[in-house]
Structure 1
C-alpha cells in the first residue's frame, strides 16, 4: 500500500457512492449507478497507463492470459489415493456452497420481495458444478460480491446473467490484455460500494432489542465473513444458532400464573399488573415440549417454584399451599422421560400433601399419557380442560369437605 493507492481508491469510492446516491434519489437516473463501475475501471486504467503510476507502487492486475480453461473431463477418476480426500472435500464444499448460495439468494429476495426455492437452487448449483468440473472451473456458488455488483447495477431479471456470461466470454477470449494496467484497488472499491447497500443496520438493531443470541449469531457471522472467510463466518453462525436451540430445548421457560381480577383468565404474574395469586394454588405454565433433554431441569425448576411459593406464603402470612396446577397448553409433545417426570412429580407432591393437577394437555400429549396409564393415577380431579375450571372445581370440592 502507498499514499497513491489510497488516493486513487478513496477517489473512485467517493465517485461510486455518489453515483449510487444520485440513482437512489432520482430513479430516472438509474443508468448513472449502472455505468459507474465500468466507468471507474476504464478511467483508472487510462490514468495508470498515461501516468505510469505503476512505478509509484500502485498495485495493478498485470498480465492475464487469454482463452478459456482447458477441458478436464478426461481427468475424471474413481480410483487412486486421493479419492477419499476428494469425497470429503466435495461434501464439505457442497454444503458450504449450497448454504452460501441460498443465503445470498434470500438476501436479495428480501430486498426485492420475492421468494427463493431451495430445491431449485440446489439443482442449479449442482448442475452448474457438474458442468464446470468438465472445464477446470473452480467450485461455483451464489457469489455475494458478484450478485451485489449485479444488483447495484440495476439488474432485474435472469437475462442479466446471460448478458454477463456473454460479456465474460468475450472478455476472456479477446479483451484480457486491456486489464493489464487496471488497479486492484478499483475492484475493491466496486465491491465495497455494492456491499454497503446490503448492510441493514436497522435489522441488526432490532435483533439486539429482541433477542441477544440472534444478535450474537449475526455479529459472529458478519465478522467471521469479514475477517476470515465466508465458510468460517457461516460455520460460526450455525454453531451459535445450534447453541441457542440447545439452550432453549434444555432450559425451557416456566411461568407462575395468576388470575386477572374480575375474569376467568389466567396469565403470567410478571407480565400483567392486574394478575394476582390464587390462594392455596400454585399455577405453573410450561412453554415447551417435555423431552429427556429438559425433564430433569423441569423437575428441579418446578420444585424450586414450590419452595419459593412456600417462602412467599410464610412471609405474607397467607393460607397454606394445597394444589399445584401445571398448564400444559404449550406442551406440544412429550416422551417417556417427560411421562416419568409427571409421575415422579405427582408422587413427590403427594408425600408432601400437595395435589398435582394437569390443565389442557393437547391431543398427542393426552394420548401418550393415556397409553402409559398415567391418567389412571390422577383420577377425575386430576385433569381439566382449562386452569379456570381446575381452580373452580377444586375450590368447590374443598368447600364441600367438612
Structure 2
C-alpha cells in the first residue's frame, strides 16, 4: 500500500502553470501601493456611506477619542481610574521635582509638565494605560543638549526659553509624523539599540545623582563616566557631606526594599508607588527639625507656587536659537515618541486592545505643543508610572486627569512644604527609578538571538556611558541603519536539497539529510532583488555554481546541467534585478547550463513578463514548485524511489 502511494506520488503529470496576474491600470496600482504604505489601517473606513452629521461626529471622535469611549464610561471604571490616578500622582510629584533638576530647570517646571500635557493626552490619546509626564532619559537628554548651547546658571531665562522652544519643536515633530502617517520611521531605531541606549542612560543618570547623593558642590558638567568619577574622587576629601550621605543612603535602601516588595508581590504594588512620597515627607521633616541645612545638607529651597504661566511669548521664533531649538526638539521628540509608543503597545497587548500609532503621535505632539506654551518641557509616557497605573487598576485615560488635578492642588497649596526637601532624597528617588531601565534579561536574549543586534546594543550603551547621551544616540542610529543596509545589500541565499521520501526541498545546512539532485543546483534567494543587492545575488549564485562544479569535478561526478532559482521569498524585483537575471542567464548559457525559476510571486511574474525576461528564459522554464522543476528538467530522477 505504501509502495503504491509512493509511486503514485512520483507519477509524471504536467506541472501546474505559474499564474500571471492581470495587468492593473497605472493609477489603480499606484493608489493601492500608496494606501497600503500610508493608510493600511484605512482610517476613512468608518466614514463611508455616512450622513454629514454623522461624519462630523466621527471626525470629532477621531481627533478626541474620549468622546467615543466616554459614552460607555461608568462609575465602576471611575473607581479604578481614581485609585490609579491618586497612586501615580503620589509617585510623580517627587519624581517630577527630581527630573526637572536633570533638565537643569527649576522644580516647578517638572510639576507643570505633569499638569497640562496629561490633560491634553487624556482627550486625544488612544492608550488606556500610559501615564504622561517628564521622564528621566528625555530630561537628561534635554538638559545635556541645552546646556551645550546656554549655561543654565548664568543665563537661566534664555536657557528656559530654549527649553520651551525645543519642547515646541518636539511636539511639532511628533504631530507631523502622525499627521503624515510616517510613524514607521521610528521603527528604524532597533529594539536592541533602544535597550542599550536606555541602559547607558540609566547609568549616566544614576552617576549624575552622585552630586546630590554625596552633597558635592562643585561637580562636573560632563556626563561621561570618566569625568563623573574623576569629579567624585577629587572631591572625596573635602566635598562630601556625611549627613547628606546618611539621608541619601538610608532612603535609597528604603526605596529599593519597597520596590522589591512591590515587584515580588503584585498586591503590594502600592508600597513601591507611595514610597517616594513617604521618603520626601520623612526626609523633609527630618531636615526641618534638625536644621540639617546648616550642616551642609543641600535642600530644594523655593518652589514657585501657583498654576503654569503662559510661555508663548518666550518661544524663539527668530534669531540664532530657532534652529538650535528645532534640532534639540527633533531629537528629544523622537526619543520621547519611541518610549511612549513602546509603552503604549506593551500595555495594549497585555490588555488585548489596539492603539492607533498615528493618533498617539498626534496626541503626544499636541500635548507638547500645548505644554511649550504653558511653561512645560518635553513630556512623554513613563515606564515606571505606566506600570503603576496598570497595576493600580486604571480603566481609561481618566487616571491621567485625576493625576493632573492632584498635581494642580500640589502646585496651589503644598509646594512651600517642599522647601526643606533634601536634594539627596531626590537623587535617591531618581536612582531607584532608573535602575529598572537597565534590562539585563533583554541584553542576554539579544546576545543569544543576534550577535549583530548585540553589537548595536553595546555600541549605544558604551557610547552613552563613556561619551555622552547624544553620542550614544548617534551610535545607536548608525548601527541600526548599518544593520538594515547590510541585510538589504547582502541578503541570504541557500543551497537546497531533497528531503528523503518527499517532494520537499529545503536548506541542506538546516537539514543535513537532504540530498542534492544529480546534475541540478537548487538555490533559494531570501530577499527581494533590488538595485542595492542585484549584483551581489548574481555573483553569489555564480559562486555557488563554481564551488559546486569544483566539488563535482573532484568527486568525478557529472557536472551541473540545470540551475534552479527558488524565488518564493523574492517579494519584489526592480529593473536592476531584471538586468541581473538577464546577465545570469547569459553567463549560464555560455556554460551550457539551463536557468530555471521556481515559484515567483505575482509582482515578480508581472515584471518578468513586462520586461520580456520570461520569454528570454522561456515560459516553459518557470515552474510553480521546485519539485515540478526537477520533475520536468530531470525526468530520470523522478523514476527513482
Deviates more, 1:390-399 or 1:258-267: 390-399
Deviates more, 1:51-60 or 1:121-130: 51-60
Match of 2:414 in 1: 175
Instruction: State how far apart, in whole Å, the 1-side matches of 2:249 and 2:347 are.
Output: 27
**C-alpha offsets along residues 326-371 of structure 1, whole Å, 9 cap, x if unaligned?**
1111111000100001111110111112111111111110110001
Residue segments in structure 2 that go unaligned for 5+ positions in a row: 1-213, 215-239
SS in 1 for 2:565: strand
Match of 1:328 in 2: 567
Instruction: State how far apart, in whole Å, the 1-side matches of 2:386 and 2:426 are.
Output: 14
Instruction: State how far apart, in whole Å, the 2-side matches of 1:114 and 1:230 are.
Output: 34
Match of 1:354 in 2: 593
Deviation at 1:394, TM superposition (A): 1.2
SS in 2 for 1:135: coil
Matched, 1:239 2:475: no
**C-alpha offsets along residues 80-100 of structure 1, whole Å, 9 cap, x if unaligned?**
676565555555554444334
Give the one of 310, 316, 320 matched to 2:549: 310
Matched, 1:156 2:397: no
Q: Against the structure 1 CA distance between its residues 221 and 322, is the aligned structure 2 distance closer, same or farther, given a 3 Å change threshold?
A: same
Is the 8 Å Cα contact of residues 33 and 152 (structure 1) preserved in structure 2?
Answer: no
Q: Against the structure 1 CA distance between its residues 219 and 116, is the aligned structure 2 distance closer, same or farther, given a 3 Å change threshold?
A: farther
Is the 8 Å Cα contact of residues 381 and 394 (structure 1) preserved in structure 2?
Answer: no
Instruction: State how far apart, in whole Å, the 2-side matches of 1:180 and 1:131 are.
Output: 29
Deviates more, 1:87-96 or 1:322-331: 87-96
Q: Against the structure 1 CA distance between its residues 289 and 192, is the aligned structure 2 distance closer, same or farther, given a 3 Å change threshold?
A: same
Match of 1:46 in 2: 285
Is the 8 Å Cα contact of residues 266 and 391 (structure 2) preserved in structure 1?
Answer: no
Instruction: State how far apart, in whole Å, the 2-side matches of 1:363 and 1:135 are.
Output: 54
Matched, 1:19 2:237: no
Is the 8 Å Cα contact of residues 359 and 385 (structure 1) preserved in structure 2?
Answer: yes
Residue segments in structure 1 that go unaligned for 5+ positions in a row: none
Match of 1:207 in 2: 446
Deviation at 1:192, TM superposition (A): 3.3
Instruction: State how far apart, in whole Å, the 1-side matches of 2:318 and 2:290 are.
Output: 55
SS in 2 for 1:23: helix
**C-alpha offsets along residues 25-60 of structure 1, whole Å, 9 cap, x if unaligned?**
444444333321211111111222223333444332
Is the 8 Å Cα contact of residues 34 and 152 (structure 1) preserved in structure 2?
Answer: no
Is the 8 Å Cα contact of residues 62 and 179 (structure 1) preserved in structure 2?
Answer: yes
Matched, 1:268 2:507: yes
Match of 1:387 in 2: 626
**C-alpha offsets along residues 128-174 of structure 1, whole Å, 9 cap, x if unaligned?**
123223323223333456556x5498463433322322222222223
Instruction: State how far apart, in whole Å, the 1-side matches of 2:600 and 2:307 are.
Output: 66
Q: Looking at both structures, which has the greater relative contact order when contacts are Cα pairs under 8 Å and sequence separation is at least 6?
A: 2
Instruction: State how far apart, in whole Å, the 2-side matches of 1:19 and 1:187 are.
Output: 16
Matched, 1:166 2:405: yes
Match of 2:497 in 1: 258
SS in 2 for 1:319: coil
Instruction: State how far apart, in whole Å, the 2-side matches of 1:179 and 1:153 are.
Output: 28
Q: Against the structure 1 CA distance between its residues 321 and 74, is the aligned structure 2 distance closer, same or farther, given a 3 Å change threshold?
A: closer
Residue correspondence of structure 1 range 108-187 to structure 2 within 5 A: 109=348, 115-143=354-382, 147=386, 150-151=388-389, 154=392, 156-157=394-395, 158-187=397-426
Instruction: State how far apart, in whole Å, the 1-side matches of 2:481 and 2:528 are.
Output: 18
SS in 2 for 1:185: helix
